[in-house]
Chains A and B, each alone.
Chain A
Amino acid sequence: DAGVIQSPRHEVTEMGQEVTLRCKPISGHNSLFWYRQTMMRGLELLIYFNNNVPIDDSGMPEDRFSAKMPNASFSTLKIQPSEPRDSAVYFCASRRDGDGPQHFGDGTRLSIL
């Protein structure tokens, strides 16, 4: 079975540029989560969607960050403009409500120069 698919795996860009991270959840999963992981802060929940609707975005650091889920099989996390402190690994995870744990993608390693 295909797991959660994230792209790109790595992104290196200059500050000020727009960055778009993509995620395809597991088919049939109706909740999708975006996390950010850094050495300093560990794993932080940024936002999660349920049935394509953003439910809790309290973890989104600031207005430069936005996330969308136009349909059940695709989500994006966008940073505009990007800053060096946004450098981190960004994970997407999905699950089926009431059916236990999340399944994580392999992450996108983002470096803002």
Chain B
Amino acid sequence: GNSVTQMEGPVTLSEEAFLTINCTYTATGYPSLFWYVQYPGEGLQLLLKATKADDKGSNKGFEATYRKETTSFHLEKGSVQVSDSAVYFCVDLNRDDKIIFGKGTRLHILP
């Protein structure tokens, strides 16, 4: 079956560091891919999405590119802030309309 694998956390970085959170998927066909963010004490919010190969989703300085050749959708940000501290989920929506969540990666940004 389909699955989503994302790097285990916690990830701890200093403010203004470069961030990468890896995510790979296994799926037949071409799923839509999403990153969700969960800030402390809150629900999950959609951060960005990409619906086809080579699409780049972006929001709040975060970016992720849908790479079919490596089945990846890595999340990146050039300069993180303390307010980016949260849990990030990589999500796959396959062509059967089934949603698969990664296990989440906790990010701590130190001032």
Contacts and interface: CB of A to CB of B under 8 A. Distances in A.
Interface of A: 4, 33, 42-43, 45, 91, 93, 97-98, 100-107
Nearest to B44: A104
B42 A106 contact: yes
B30 to A, nearest CB: 14
B contact patch SS: strand
B104 A101 contact: no
B91 A101 contact: yes
A100 B50 CA distance: 10
Interface residues of B, number: 18
A106 B104 contact: no
A42 to B, nearest CB: 5
Interface of B: 32, 34, 36, 42-46, 49, 51, 89, 91, 93, 97, 99, 101, 103-104
B97 A97 contact: yes
Contacts of A33: 99
A101 B43 contact: no
B88 to A, nearest CB: 12
Contacts of A102: 44, 99
Contact of B93 (A45, A100, A104): A100
Contacts of A45: 101
A42 B104 contact: yes
Contacts of B91: 101
11 contacts: A42-B103, A43-B101, A45-B101, A97-B97, A100-B51, A101-B93, A103-B46, A104-B44, A105-B43, A106-B42, A106-B43
